[in-house]
Amino acid sequence: MPPRLVIGVDIGGTKLAAAVVDQDLQVHQRTQRSMHGRDTSALLDTMQEAVQELINTASGTVDAVGFGIPSLIDRRTGTSVVAINLPLDHLPFGALMAERLDLPIFVDNDGNVAALAEHRAGAAAGAQDVLALTIGTGIGGGLILGGQVYRGWVGSGAELGHMVIDLNGPPCQGNCPNNGCLETMASGTALAREALRIGAEQPDSALGQALSAGRQLDGALVTELAHDGDAAAGAVLALIGERLGVAMASYVNIFNPEVIVLGGGVMAAGEMLLAPIREQIARRALPPSRDNVRVLRAHYGAEAGMIGAAALALDGLARAADSNGKEAGQ
């Protein structure tokens, strides 16, 4: 019997990643698109085109599509209510994509689906209480509590990137009305901002020289320079890691997770971020939670959202089949 195939789509602030995935969460085909600078109509067109490309090249029939989108979602209506970094506000996203693709569509927050992937078959496999962060343009969060994805009352819970860690900090990104959120203090965007500041303050450092040369001070370059021993680049990562650790300590106190999983492009820095995060948890969190939590890099890395969106679709198909079976048996 051929494997069941679905498509998982991860929508980020700047790019789309999608893949054909089977029931064992094995990836068959991949595609990517830029999402930068597009209006709502163009975003929807881009998503449709990416999915249609995969449908056309899949080795079998695609049964459903799962989307992880960077938005607060009202699961009662399937509406994208507030998207911080993309123009997807007040949009009946699931219904629109179902109409465009003529397939069953399952939609959830991008942080939730990343957490689902790591819990199902990744770094947190087997754990019942998991906190996951995806650190990229923004910071997405997801919670697995008692083995189930926690979404809150209407489906918009676990916005972990929007916990305030500095009351007087800079305004948060996009549509968030707050100041000093973790997202604006410790995301990839924040890392680039701090790299510009520290590079300007230390012009003789490798970071400062890269700034003078007009290079883009993004996470990849800062990590490369820090690996090469540049103290200024190392200071940027230490600062971002410290801020993440402050938030992690609060999460540990509130949720008492067994595992914290950290993914997204920024985590390419590895132990240069994980070490200050663990240090802050050890300093600030309360026992016994702090003494038992494990802090790990995501197994799926940048593909966690895509894999999790596929798992969301597979779960949705299974629930539908179970419901139909029960109705037939009545």
Percent of the chain with pLDDT over 90: 79
Q: What is the mean pLDDT of residues 166-187?
A: 93
Residues 96-108 have pLDDT tens digits of 999 999 999 999 9
Nearest to 64, CA basis, from 322, 325, 319, 329:
319
Q: Kindly report which listed range (53-67, 170-184, 210-224, 315-329) carries the lowest average pLDDT score.
A: 315-329
Q: Is residue 329 over pLDDT 70?
A: no
Q: What is the pLDDT of residue 202?
A: 98
Residues 6-34 have pLDDT tens digits of 999 999 878 899 999 999 999 999 999 99
Q: What is the mean pLDDT of residues 212-221?
A: 96
Q: What is the DSSP letter of 243?
A: H
Q: What is the mean pLDDT of residues 319-330?
A: 67
d(C-alpha 170, C-alpha 152), whole Å: 28
289 touches 253 (CB < 8 A): yes
Q: β-pairing, 71-74 with 79-83?
A: antiparallel
The end-to-end CA distance of the chain, in Å, is 29
Q: What is the pLDDT of residue 264?
A: 87
Q: What is the pLDDT of residue 157?
A: 86
Label residue 48 by pLDDT band (50, 70, 90): very high
Q: What is the pLDDT of residue 328?
A: 57
Q: What is the DSSP letter of 288?
A: T
Q: What is the mean pLDDT of residues 187-198?
A: 96
179 touches 167 (CB < 8 A): yes
Residues 267-314 have pLDDT tens digits of 999 999 999 999 999 999 999 999 999 999 999 988 899 999 999 999
Q: What is the DSSP letter of 205?
A: S
Q: What is the pLDDT of residue 324?
A: 67
Residues 28-38 have pLDDT tens digits of 999 999 987 78
Residues 193-208 have pLDDT tens digits of 999 999 999 999 999 9
Q: Is residue 3 over pLDDT 60?
A: yes
Q: Is residue 136 over pLDDT 90?
A: no
> Domains in the chain and their CATH numbers?
5-110+303-329 (3.30.420.40), 123-298 (3.30.420.40)
Q: What is the pLDDT of residue 327?
A: 56
* H-only helix segments in 139-217: 182-186, 188-201, 206-212
